[in-house]
A and B are shown apart, each in its own frame.
Chain A
Amino acid sequence: MTVLEQPGSFRPSSPPPWQPRTDPAPLLPDAEPYRLLGTEAADELDPALLRRLYGQLVRGRRYNAQATALTRQGRLAVYPSSAGQEACQVAAALALEDRDWLFPSYRDTLAAVARGLDPVQALTLLRGDWHTGYDPRETRVAPLCTPLATQLPHAVGLAHAARLKGDEVVALAMVGDGGSSEGDFHEALNFAAVWRAPVVFLLQNNGFAISVPLSKQTAAPSFAHKAVGYGMPGRLVDGNDAPAVHRVLTEAVRRARTGGGPTLVEAITYRVEAHTNADDDKRYRSDAEVAAWRAHDPVALVERELTRRGLLDEDGIAAERQAAEELAADLRERMNREPLLDPMDLFTHVYAEQTSQLRAQAAQLRAELAAAEEAAAGAGAGTAAEHGVAGAGAGTAAEEGAR
């Protein structure tokens, strides 16, 4: 203190030179969400890609409707529909190669199905059957993740491991607007950027986290802008424009695969149905708002584009819808079969080797099951005996058998 106060003795020091670690300008998202449909660039879109997207969108829409119907029939415990978000789901699946990994949330079963996962396997969790109905290593689809954003660090770790092993594998991880507020979102993006991990983060901004709207979720200019803070590019895309989402994701996947590091893609979309079948969206949003988004429908957008370019006619539409009906019928039929779960499986995969405590508990359950079975058999025998006394039918049959 006293030293500084001596007149003439104070020399302002200068800090060591500073410069930003990376130029933020190229990381910034564009001012407008990227769109293809309805722009001049749409004319150059590959017809085969458009047809592929269309087929998947039609089937995806039908899949969502069928799964929601299955909740009403008690065949699914719960279904978080991606109706209205099919473009994101389908584009995510098609942007990936076979060797790549998808990290879906509970809302993203369609993305997994569009990748080729059996819909029944994709839905085991939501029917109340075993949590993951498929082998993640075989399918390169990580388990559906419910604790929000916790799947994102997994995607980073997996992509990082793949890069260390020299495999050109990309991980695409899906998260919602609400999930972006979780700490794991921040940590995953930071790790991914520091490690230059080959990850693509697809944030489906569908307007709500259950009932909570964007205004209560973030004060950022956009979710895509958050990327800049981590040192990765943020991209904004119209999430209902399937070819646009596909292009942005494909570009991000290519960038990741060739060592360019991660990208955060914000797809602006809308959840046109309630959060799940258990939700009542009338409590927090207006019909008019929903109607406005229904008018910007991802399936109709591609259908219109294909018909406009003469790439699709009534027969073509009918054929796609027929294929979707077949998928729905197959799903319905197989979901209506009673799943067979073995209660003893409760103890099978807790550890590689059962602990003595688990062995004892398994023995207890086995004994309970055996007792229940015996009781049921006894009850059955009792009934038969009563019948034997009451009517001559059973006795006669037995006698017949004996002869």
Chain B
Amino acid sequence: MTAAVGQQSATMAQALNRALRDAMAEDPAVHVLGEDVGALGGVFRITDGLAKEFGEDRCTDTPLAEAGILGSAVGMAMYGLRPVVEMQFDAFAYPALEQLVSHVAKMRNRTRGALPMPVTVRVPYGGGIGGVEHHSDSSEALYLATPGLQVVTPGTVADAYGLLRAAIASDDPVIFLEPKRLYWSKAAFSPEQPEPVPGIGTAVVRRPGSSATLITYGPSLPVCLEAAEAATAEGWDLEVIDLRSLMPLDEETVCASVRRTGRAVIVHEASGFGGPGGELAARIGERCFHYLQAPVLRVTGFDIPYPPPMLEKHHLPGVDRVLDAVARLQWESEWTEGSEGSGRGWPW
């Protein structure tokens, strides 16, 4: 008990587990339900020990049916509970899409605010873990196309705890996307005094920089941070923004950064076509046009069904691909001290 606070560390999985445990201890309305969440503690052990500590009525192994799980959660929320649903894997959340789209996302609106849906849907997502088919999807674009949902994803251990607590406390539904390949990433974390983090809807600058902005979230955050370190060798000082929350989207933090750096690369694992990057690029174009020195670029997963694990390394945005994109940000056109005013320089 005398160990100095801040010296302890935890994996993202442990931080998520702690967040569930603290939320359940604090609020008896919080109920966890899903497949194998009881005795097993979930296939990723995120619900480890909860059934034992809070009883099977609070952490419930349900029959194996995702629509049934989420549909029941809707009814539980109607009666005043605060369900936290675990979807076992990204691609196995699809059976629940109808409940999600037609009810979870719309219930507050269709009842004029009478029936809010404080439902958290935890979805382990993304690749990079050698998962065979149907275990590595990044489906955030599906959720983002559904008004009424909040879509949140942590990229750090502290956020895993803080954002999950915020998601459970939110009176609106949250799709809580857990980057599978960061489950075992470790960082300083004190379960007794978790570091306070900004709430849902706030992006965070993870690395300040001045040459260009990398905008990312979840599993691609460490990739971008690594790329930013590597970029210093090229003389680029990259800013890295962790969105944390895709809906609501913190446009202000993004735009402030891009206006400063004049260049932006968006990085995510989900396919580029129809992906979140397109939305971000459009908004940056609409709001920062006169500050841009180069078109906004995207580094994303290819527009293909998630590949077999033996090929996934070619699909996932890696450090090199990010650096290549940074290199394509039209640096040659930059206005420099002493150059002739060509009308192509800074706009002010």
| Residue ranges of A at the interface with B (Cβ–Cβ < 8 Å) | 130-132, 135-138, 142-143, 147, 150, 152-162, 164-165, 171, 183-184, 186-188, 190-191, 194, 345, 348-352, 355-357
Contact = CB atoms under 8 A, between A and B. Distances in A.
Contacts of A157: 71-79, 83
B110 A187 contact: no
Given A156-B71, A352-B172, A161 B251 contact: no
Max count, chain B CB within 10 A of own CB: residue among A130, A158, A357: A158
Interface in B49-103: 57, 62-63, 65, 67-68, 70-81, 83, 95, 98-99, 102-103
Contacts of B79: 157-158, 161-162, 165
A386 to B, nearest CB: 43
A355 B247 contact: yes
Interface size grouping (class) on chain B: 35 or more
Nearest to A158: B75
A164 B116 contact: no
B285 interface: no
Contact of A150 (B81, B98, B171): B98
A132 B110 CA distance: 6
Max count, chain B CB within 10 A of own CB: residue among A164, A194, A349: A349
A160 B108 contact: no
Nearest to B107: A143
B229 to A, nearest CB: 32
A155 B72 CA distance: 7
Nearest to B70: A153
A156 B75 contact: yes
Contact of B75 (A138, A143, A154, A186): A154
B67 A161 contact: no
B71 A153 contact: yes
A232 to B, nearest CB: 14
A155 B148 CA distance: 22
15 contacts: A132-B112, A147-B102, A153-B71, A153-B75, A157-B76, A158-B79, A161-B80, A165-B79, A184-B99, A187-B63, A187-B65, A188-B71, A194-B63, A348-B112, A356-B249
B78 A158 contact: yes
Given A132-B110, A137-B114, A162-B79, A356 B74 contact: no
B147 interface: yes
A360 to B, nearest CB: 9
Interface string B28-59: 00010000000000000000000000000100
A294 B251 CA distance: 62
A137 B115 contact: yes
A356 B248 contact: yes
Interface in B138-189: 147-148, 150, 170-172
A349 B103 contact: no
Contacts of A130: 110, 112
Contacts of B201: 355
B252 interface: yes
Contacts of B99: 150, 153, 184
A356 B148 contact: no
Given A160-B72, A187-B68, A190-B63, A131 B113 contact: no
Given A147-B98, A158-B78, A187-B68, A164 B247 contact: no
Given A162-B79, A191-B68, A350 B147 contact: yes
B193 interface: no
B156 to A, nearest CB: 23
Contacts of B73: 157
Max count, chain B CB within 10 A of own CB: residue among A132, A136, A348, A351: A351
Contacts of B112: 130, 132, 345, 348-349
Contacts of A352: 108, 116, 170-172
Contact of B109 (A171, A349, A355, A356): A349
A157 B67 CA distance: 12
A157 B72 CA distance: 4
Given A132-B110, A190-B63, A350-B108, A356 B251 contact: yes
Contact of B148 (A137, A142, A351): A351
Contacts of A142: 78
B111 interface: yes
A183 B95 contact: yes
Given A161-B81, A190-B68, A191-B62, A143 B74 contact: no
Contacts of A190: 63, 65, 68
Contact of B71 (A150, A165, A351, A356): A150
B248 A350 contact: no
A164 B31 CA distance: 11
B108 A349 contact: yes
